[in-house]
Amino acid sequence: MTAKQQESGRAVILYDDALLDHADTALFTPPAAAASAVGGRGSAWLLQHGDAEWVLRHYRRGGLPGRFIRDLYVWTGLEATRAWREWRLLQSLYKVGLPVPQPVAAQVVRAGLFYRADLITRRIPGATSIAALMAAGGESRVPWGEAGHTVRRLHDAGVYHADLNAHNLLVDAAAKVHIIDFDRGARRGAGAWRQANLARLQRSLHKLAGSGAVIAPAWAAFLVGYGT
């Protein structure tokens, strides 16, 4: 697994040479028949590459800024771009065996003082988000203790997840829990961010369940797995 960098016009591409012989901008143009993937603020697609499935995500702004500047970010250097930072973080976590998507390629396209960006990761086969399971009444299918243990592994590695919620925790067919979407994630030292991460996830679960009482047993099992 070696990171390689390649330029193509105004675009710069970072990719794993164990997964790709070369990379170009065509990788980041979803075919008309490509299915939408969950997440990515409506800008994620499923791509077929040989026997593997990939997820292509175009970076878009959320909230109020997203209403005016949908996908432009201020250029402060290549290594500071959101795509580069997420790709490198994912690669470092994947290398040490943490349950995160394998990064395939990232693209940054300069546009004057701004840039646009895309990220491709390998899809986690047979995985369903905890949010989707809960929406279908499948709380009992969620391995809550395993979910807690998985988040604890991430925290023990010093990794802050900027948007830890039920949509970004996936459960596969073997009941293994994976964590996705590390945009704006970072390595941090010890601090209150861990509890803030847990509080954000708990709010997400409450919102989906519609009642704190409904989610209380699940959250208790999660915290047992987390080790609190």
Which of residues 122, 147, 162 is at a domain's end? 122
Q: Please check whether residues 108 and 141 belong to one and the same domain.
A: no
Question: Are 71 and 182 part of one and the same domain?
Answer: no
Residues 48 and 115 placed together within one structural domain of the fold = yes
Helix (H) or strand (E) holding 193: helix 193-209
Q: Is the pLDDT of residue 146 over 50?
A: yes
Enclosing H/E stretch for 3? strand 3-8
Which contacts qualify for 62-70: CB closer than 8 Å, 24 or more apart?
A: 66/41
- Do residues 41 and 56 share a domain? yes
Q: Which of 16, 118, 163, 183 is catalytic?
A: 163
Same domain, 15 and 103: yes
On the question of pLDDT at 66 being above 50, the answer is no
Residues 152 and 54 in one domain: no
| Same-domain status, 107 and 168 | no
The pLDDT, as a whole number, for residue 1 is 66
Geometric angle at alpha carbon 83, from 77 and 89, rounded to 5°: 105
Q: Are strands 103-111 and 73-74 parallel, antiparallel or unpaired?
A: unpaired
Q: Are residues 163 and 115 in the same domain?
A: no
Q: What is the CATH number of the domain that holds 89?
A: 3.30.200
171: amino acid identity, one letter: V
Number of domains present in the structure of the chain: 2
Among residues 105, 122, 139, the one where a domain terminates is: 122
Judge if 84 and 145 occupy the same domain.
Answer: no
Active site residue 156: no
215: domain CATH number is 1.10.510.10
Q: Is residue 37 scored above 70 in pLDDT?
A: no
**Same-domain check for residues 105 and 148:** no
Same structural domain, 100 and 132: no
Of 15-24, 49-58, 87-96, 210-219, least confident by mean pLDDT is: 210-219
pTM for the structure as a whole: 0.92
Report the distance separating Cα 3 and Cα 17, nearest Å: 6
Domain boundary among 122, 157, 177: 122
Mean pLDDT of the chain: 90
pLDDT band at 33 (very low <50, low <70, confident <90, very high): low
Task: Work out the pLDDT band at 67, boundaries 50, 70, 90.
Answer: low
Cβ-contact 151, 197 below 8 angstroms: yes
151-156: average pLDDT: 98
Token pair for 131: 């949010």
Residues 103, 151 within the same domain: no
DSSP helix/strand/coil, 173 = coil
Reference 223, options 208, 201, 192; nearest CA is: 201
The amino acid at residue 105 is A
Percent of the chain with pLDDT over 70: 91
Q: Which domain holds residue 208?
A: 128-226
